[in-house]
């Protein structure tokens, strides 16, 4: 993927795109893959970097959702499990099976949860990963030597899948591009163009060059997650708000706090929340929260009380209780939940994770809600709707079995130059070649793109990322033809953010 080549495609002012998608997260890029694979001329515009919104800040699970099973949302769980099965086949390099254990502390819980997870297995059907099992107290303690064993009565082992969300978004961008789509990061949509009351295109500004583009389209899709209302209000100023954001944060700890290759799932804390302790990229991720009434921002800030809540709960389950100093990183994301019956709910954890498609009088197609796991199904429904709304030539969806791009460029880059074969920083498994490949082939434009979303350094260990920043900035500058001022600016930008609050 090359950004200059992509930009040259939107410079052709006479082009009338079949489908233009606003938003480069899981939903938007899923739509771009689907539309391009059906043969439509497709353009996707993202105001920041690909996945800079919620899609790089998830719990990184491709799952049916045990919580939704508890809530009795069987259709949602069945659909998610079906999507999980297809993703394990279409992107085996990115989505991997992961065993989970639900530790039990009351005598009946091992039987209760094992029964529930057997239902989960049944709902997975032929696309299931492996069977759930009842575990004795000894087996749970063997698997998790660092889990507190006081009061443990046993547990349940079940299977779900884990992925790297931001890497998946890059892979989707590249799949869309291979199918013929034009995908652009740092292109912000500022306005919609109408003719006779119908949307005919939009105005977007390149955030890096300041150049404004007028783009014509037969169908415009609003896939902007928590920002969906701001685009809907460009269409109809008085459109009622439908998004009720809910913030979720994760803390990252050294892997030694759990020392296990299985994840832990706590289905119900005393205040009724779900918690996960998950091994990820050689670290331990612990989350999440569900905090309503937060401001909508591309860089949401974790709240002090959210961090305290997670540290306190980690201490309840782990033999060595973590302290604030043990937290290597914190990241926050906003769930784009849809208000029930368009009214404020007050309890975001109970809002359904189903997706909703809305078509305005002027033809703007808005897709909101859903989960990462179901992005493909959401895209299929959205493009079906676009075909109908814009009277495009009908063409069936082909993504159920479409393989997702597998990147391999950093390996030859590392082979060419022994210096680039070195690790970027001893804390991370990423080689310097990964940063070069990010700038050369993956449209990384800033140091933060490379450290947050092409690699996951900033999410794993913020102090080590700051130490790696000068080296990474130098490597990027060489690739992108940037000077010393750019290098300094990029390092300053990363350093001045107080990531840990
Ligand atoms: C804490 C947390 C944990 C989660 N864990 C899981 C999980 O484990 N598994 C799972 O299945 N789901 C999970 N989810 C849900 C999942 O992450 C989201 O449903 C999904 O990422 C939403 O993707 P999206 O593309 O709709 O939104 P986003 O990723 O937010 O993308 C929208 C994009 O639109 C862009 N945009 C906005 N305005 C404009 C404009 N004017 N011009 C151009 N671009 C614009 C934004 O910059 C943004 O990048 C989790 C969510 C949270 C918050």
Highest mean pLDDT, choosing among 327-336, 341-350, 353-362: 327-336
What is the share, in percent, of the chain residues with pLDDT greater than 90?
89
Mean pLDDT within 377-395: 96
In 3D, which of 60, 68, 123 has the Cα closest to residue 87?
A: 60
Q: Counting atoms of ligand 1 from 1, which one is nearest the CA of 367?
A: 26
pLDDT at 501: 44
Mean pLDDT of 146-156: 93
Name residue, tokens 């349940």: 156
Contact assessment for residue 370 and residue 224, using Cβ atoms and an 8 Å cutoff: no
pLDDT of residue 342: 45
pTM for the predicted model, two decimal places = 0.96
Same domain? 325 vs 183: no
142 and 266 fall within a common domain: yes
Residues 244-255 have a mean pLDDT of 96
* Distance of alpha carbon 492 from alpha carbon 125, whole angstroms: 51
* Structure confidence at residue 495 (pLDDT): 84
Domains of the chain: total: 3
For residue 226, give the ligand 1 atom closest to its CA: 30
Ligand 1 atom at shortest distance from the alpha carbon of 246: 53
Q: What is the largest CA-CA distance in the chain?
A: 71
Residue 480 has pLDDT above 70, yes or no: yes
How far away, in angstroms, is 404 Cα from ligand 1 center?
Answer: 19
Q: What was the pLDDT predicted at 344?
A: 52
Range with lowest mean pLDDT among 132-136, 138-142, 491-495: 491-495
Answer yes or no: is pLDDT of 265 > 60: yes
**Mean pLDDT value across residues 415-430:** 95
Same domain as 83, residue 36: no
Report the pLDDT averaged over residues 287-314: 94
The CATH number for 327's domain is 3.30.9.10
Atom of ligand 1 at shortest distance to CA of 372?
Answer: 11
What value does the CA radius of gyration of the chain take, rounded to a whole number of Å? Answer: 23
Mean pLDDT on 451-468: 96
Which residue minimizes the CA distance to atom 31 of ligand 1?
25
Instruction: Give distance in angstroms: CA of 23 to centre of ligand 1.
Output: 9
**Phi, psi (rounded to 5 degrees) for 401:** -120, 15
Question: Do the Cβ atoms of 370 and 223 come closer than 8 Å?
Answer: no
- For residue 289, the enclosing domain spans 73-160+247-332
Out of 352, 383, 401, a domain closes at: 401
- 7 and 77 share one domain: no
List the single range of 31-40, 111-120, 286-295, 345-354 with lowest mean pLDDT: 345-354
Task: Flag whether 66 is in a domain.
Answer: no
Shared domain for 274 and 129, answered yes or no, is: yes
Question: Which pLDDT score is estimated for 273?
Answer: 84
The whole-number pLDDT of residue 349 equals: 54
Question: Rounded to 10 degrees, what is the CA torsion of 422, 425, 428, 430?
Answer: -40
Q: Are residues 328 and 370 in the same domain?
A: no
* pLDDT (0 to 100) of residue 348: 54
**What pLDDT is attached to residue 69?**
85
* 321 alpha carbon – ligand 1 mean position (Å): 32
pLDDT band at 241 (very low <50, low <70, confident <90, very high): very high
Looking at residue 270, what is its pLDDT? 72
Which atom of ligand 1 sits closest to the CA of residue 287?
A: 1
Whether residues 108 and 251 fall in one domain: yes
For the Cβ of 30 lying below 6 angstroms from any atom of ligand 1, the answer is no
pLDDT at 269: 81
Q: Select from 49, 169, 225, 351 the residue to mutate for testing ligand 1; criterion: most ligand atoms less than 8 Å from CB.
A: 225
> In whole numbers, what is the pLDDT of the chain averaged over residues?
94
CB of 223 within 6 A of ligand 1: the answer is yes
Which is higher by pLDDT, 316 or 351? 316
Indicate whether 35 pLDDT > 90: yes
Domain membership flag for residue 65: no
Q: How far is the CA of 407 from the centre of ligand 1 (A)?
A: 23
Residues 198 and 124 in one domain: no
pLDDT for 468: 97
226 and 269 co-located in one domain: no
């Amino acid at each position: 993927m090359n950004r200059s080549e992509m930009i040259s495609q939107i410079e052709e002012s006479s082009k009338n795109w079949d489908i233009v998608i606003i938003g480069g997260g899981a939903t938007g890029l899923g739509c771009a893959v689907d539309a391009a694979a059906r043969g439509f001329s497709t353009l996707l515009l993202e105001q920041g970097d690909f996945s800079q919104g919620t899609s790089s800040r998830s719990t990184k699970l491709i799952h049916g959702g045990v919580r939704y099973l508890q809530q009795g949302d069987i259709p949602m769980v069945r659909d998610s499990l079906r999507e999980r099965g297809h993703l394990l086949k279409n992107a085996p390099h990115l989505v991997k099976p992961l065993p989970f254990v639900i530790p039990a502390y009351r005598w009946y819980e091992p039987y209760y949860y094992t029964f529930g997870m057997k239902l989960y297995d049944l709902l997975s059907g032929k696309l299931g990963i492996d069977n759930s099992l009842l575990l004795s107290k000894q087996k749970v303690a063997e698997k998790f030597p660092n889990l507190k064993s006081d009061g443990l009565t046993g547990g349940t082992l079940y299977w779900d899948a884990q992925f790297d969300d931001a890497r998946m978004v890059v892979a989707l961008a590249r799949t869309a591009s291979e199918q013929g789509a034009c995908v652009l990061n740092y292109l912000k949509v500022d306005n919609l163009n109408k003719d006779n009351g119908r949307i005919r295109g939009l105005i977007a500004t390149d955030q890096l060059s300041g150049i404004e583009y007028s783009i014509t389209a037969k169908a415009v899709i609003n896939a902007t997650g928590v920002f969906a209302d701001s685009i809907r209000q460009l269409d109809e100023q008085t459109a009622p708000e439908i998004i009720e954001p809910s913030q979720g944060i994760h803390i990252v700890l050294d892997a030694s706090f759990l020392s296990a290759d299985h994840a832990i799932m706590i289905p119900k804390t005393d205040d009724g929340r779900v918690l996960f302790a998950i091994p990820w990229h050689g670290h331990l991720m612990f989350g999440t929260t569900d905090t309503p009434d937060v401001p909508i921002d591309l860089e949401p800030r974790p709240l002090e009380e959210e961090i305290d809540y997670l540290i306190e709960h980690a201490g309840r389950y782990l033999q060595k209780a973590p302290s604030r100093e043990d937290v290597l990183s914190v990241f926050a994301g906003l769930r784009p939940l849809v208000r029930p019956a368009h009214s404020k709910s007050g309890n975001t954890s109970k809002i359904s994770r189903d997706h909703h498609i809305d078509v305005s009088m002027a033809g703007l197609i808005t897709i909101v809600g859903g989960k990462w796991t179901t992005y493909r199904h959401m895209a299929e429904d959205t493009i079906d709707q676009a075909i109908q709304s814009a009277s495009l030539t009908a063409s069936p969806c082909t993504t159920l079995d479409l393989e997702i791009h597998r990147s391999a460029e950093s390996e030859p880059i590392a082979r060419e130059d022994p210096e680039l074969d070195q690790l970027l920083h001893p804390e991370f498994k990423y080689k310097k070649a990964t940063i070069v490949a990010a700038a050369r082939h993956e449209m990384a434009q800033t140091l933060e793109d490379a450290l947050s979303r092409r690699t996951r350094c900033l999410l794993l260990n913020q102090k080590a990322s700051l130490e790696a920043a000068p080296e990474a900035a130098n490597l990027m500058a060489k690739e992108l033809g940037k000077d010393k001022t750019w290098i300094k600016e990029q390092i300053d930008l990363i350093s001045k953010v107080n990531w840990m609050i």
